[in-house]
Amino acid sequence: MTNAEKYVAAAYLFVFLTLLVYVVIIASKLARLESALIDLVERVRARG
Amino acid sequence: MLLGTAIALIAFYVPVDADQGLSQKIFYFHVPIALTAYCCFGWGAWKALRHLWTRQEGADLESYVAIHLGVIFGAMTLVTGSIWARASWGVWWAWSSHQLVLFLVLFLFYCAYFMLRFSVEPGPRRANLSAVYAIFGVVLIPVSFLAIRLADDFIHPTVFTSNGPQMSGSMFFTFCVAWAALLATASALYRIELAGKRIDARLRELRELIA
């Protein structure tokens, strides 16, 4: 693998990983919101 | 799908640049990412203006999410640009390049947006201050974009001149597909993050009502 190939691969890998981390963070936030929503629904049900 | 098409075009379709060689292929993501960051900052400023002008509901949140995304794309621009600089010029950074320094200033300016935003209690004051700051920041975009056209910058290449794009048809086509792919990605991420933030705000309201 030449130096130029390594740099091109590094640049594209960085973009891919950044977008992946962003998506994972958003997904975990959405999962947290879902559990908060479930908790609220249970609290409302408990109150009758 | 657009991203996959763009990567396939970059890998198999577009010819290797005669001058820079393989490292020029970073251009097809680096420049579209930078332009997408500009679009995010511009959209954030537009929403900030809507907030100040028409008091449009949710415009402050939309402005915040757009700027957040712009900062992420800005960071990607700086890192991919730095890798490209190392491959082409042999250095990670060139302080003598107006384009690089002005983009860094723009990036740091919008990083400071979050410091301002989160140093003020949530409410109308925070929204107004953030909106004014976001509008001021947008002035830096044309300055950053035109920097190398206004100054004699011999390090950073100028691809888009008044005579049109300085590249072959296949290169320009690949560039356009890559930019469309990144704009679509940014748009999807913007919508998802915005939806999450809106649901979070509604849940908070609901929790207060139930308590």
Q: Where are the domains of chain A?
A: 17-48
Judging contacts by C-beta atoms under 8 Å, the chain A residues touching residue B22 are 2, 4-5, 8
Mean pLDDT of chain B: 87
Predicted confidence at residue A16, as pLDDT, reads 92
Residue B148: per-residue pLDDT:
60
Cα-based distances in Å from A35 to A10, B16, B187, B211? 37, 50, 26, 18
Could you give the C-alpha distances from B1 to A15, A19, B6, B77, B171, in angstroms and in order? 16, 15, 9, 22, 19
- Give yes or no for A11 touching B (CB within 8 A): yes
Decide if B142 contacts B99 (C-beta within 8 A).
Answer: no
Cβ burial, residue B2 (10 Å; 0-12/13-18/19+) = middle
Interface contacts A/B by beta carbons within 8 Å: 67
Chain B residue numbers with beta carbons less than 8 Å from the beta carbon of A16 are none
- For B77, counting Cβ atoms within 10 Å of its Cβ (0-12 exposed, 13-18 middle, 19+ buried), the class is buried
Buried b (16+ CB within 10 A) or exposed e, B122-153: eeeebbeebbebbbebbebbeebbebbeeeeb
Neighbours of B105 (CB within 10 A): 13
Cα separation, A29 vs A9, whole angstroms: 30
In this structure, is the dihedral angle defined by the CA atoms of residues B139, B144, B145 and B150, taken in order, positive or negative? positive
Under the banding of pLDDT at 50, 70 and 90, the label for residue B40 is very high
Chain B residues in contact with A2 by the CB 8 A cut-off are: 22
Q: What is this model's ipTM?
A: 0.86
Poorest-pLDDT segment among A36-40, B39-43, B153-157, B158-162: B153-157
Distance CA B202, CA B107 (A): 31
Beta bridge partners of B164: B161
- For residue B23, the chain A residue with the least C-alpha distance is A4
- pLDDT value, residue B159: 66
Chain A window 20-39: which residues touch B at a Cβ cutoff of 8 Å? 22-23, 26, 29-30, 33, 36-37
pLDDT in tens, B94-143: 887 777 888 899 999 999 999 999 999 988 899 999 999 999 888 888 88
Three-state DSSP state, B57: coil
Nearest to B188 by CA among A36, B81, B196: B196
Q: Per-residue pLDDT for B33 more than 90?
A: yes
**Element holding B97 (H helix, E strand):** none
Question: Which stretch of DSSP H or E encloses residue B113?
Answer: helix B98-118
pLDDT for B130-184, tens place per residue? 999 999 888 888 887 776 666 655 556 666 666 666 777 888 899 999 999 999 9
Per-residue model confidence as pLDDT tens digits over B72-101: 999 999 999 999 988 888 888 888 777 788
Residues of A in contact with B33 (CB under 8 A): 15
